[in-house]
Amino acid sequence: MLSVKSLESGYGKLRVLKGISMQIDPGEIVTIIGANGAGKTTLLNTISGIIKATSGEIEFNRTKISNFPAEKIVKLGCSLVPEGRQIFNTLTVKENLLIGSHTIKNSQIVKSELNNIYNLFPVLKDRINQLGGTLSGGEQQMLAIGRSLMSKPKLIMLDEPSTGLAPLIIKNIFEIIIKLKEQGNTILLVEQNAKAALRIADRGYVIETGQIVLEDKADALLRNDEVQNAYLGKEYKK
Ligand X SMILES: Nc1ncnc2c1ncn2[C@@H]1O[C@H](COP(=O)(O)OP(=O)(O)OP(=O)(O)O)[C@@H](O)[C@H]1O
The binding site for ligand X (CB under 6 A) comprises 11, 14, 16, 34, 36-42, 83, 192
CA separation for the pair 108, 2 (Å, rounded): 29
| Smallest distance from ligand X to CB 39, Å | 4
| Smallest distance from other proteins to CB 213, Å | 28
CA separation for the pair 114, 63 (Å, rounded): 29
DSSP 151-189: T--SEEEEE-TTTT--HHHHHHHHHHHHHHHHTT-EEEE
* 180: β partners: none
Residue nearest Mg ion, Cβ-based? 41
Contacts for 36 with CB less than 8 Å, ≥ 6 apart = 192
* 89: β partners: none
Q: Which CB atom, from 95 or from 215, has the smaller least distance to other proteins?
A: 95
Q: Which residues bind other proteins (CB under 8 A)?
A: 48-50, 69-71, 74-75, 79-80, 82, 86-91, 95, 98-100, 102-103, 147-148, 151
Q: Which CB atom, from 40 or from 203, has the smaller least distance to Mg ion?
A: 40
For the chain, helix (H) and strand (E) counts, in that order, are 10, 10
| Smallest distance from Mg ion to CB 132, Å | 21
| Smallest distance from other proteins to CB 51, Å | 10
| Smallest distance from ligand X to CB 193, Å | 11
User: Quick one: what does residue 36 bind among ligand X, other proteins, Mg ion, none, with the CB cut-off 5 to 8 Å set by partner type?
Assistant: ligand X
| Smallest distance from other proteins to CB 135, Å | 14
- Binding of Mg ion at residue 41 (CB under 5 A)? yes
Q: Yes or no: say if 21 and 212 are a contact pair by the CB < 8 Å rule.
A: yes
Q: Which H/E stretch holds residue 60?
A: strand 53-60
Closest CA to 83 of 196, 185, 189: 189
User: Quick one: what does residue 71 bind among Mg ion, ligand X, other proteins, none, with the CB cut-off 5 to 8 Å set by partner type?
Assistant: other proteins
User: Quick one: what does residue 57 bind among Mg ion, ligand X, other proteins, none, with the CB cut-off 5 to 8 Å set by partner type?
Assistant: none
- Binding of Mg ion at residue 148 (CB under 5 A)? no
Q: Yes or no: say if 191 and 35 are a contact pair by the CB < 8 Å rule.
A: no
User: Quick one: what does residue 99 bind among ligand X, Mg ion, other proteins, none, with the CB cut-off 5 to 8 Å set by partner type?
Assistant: other proteins
Q: Which CB atom, from 11 or from 168, has the smaller least distance to other proteins?
A: 11
CA separation for the pair 214, 169 (Å, rounded): 30
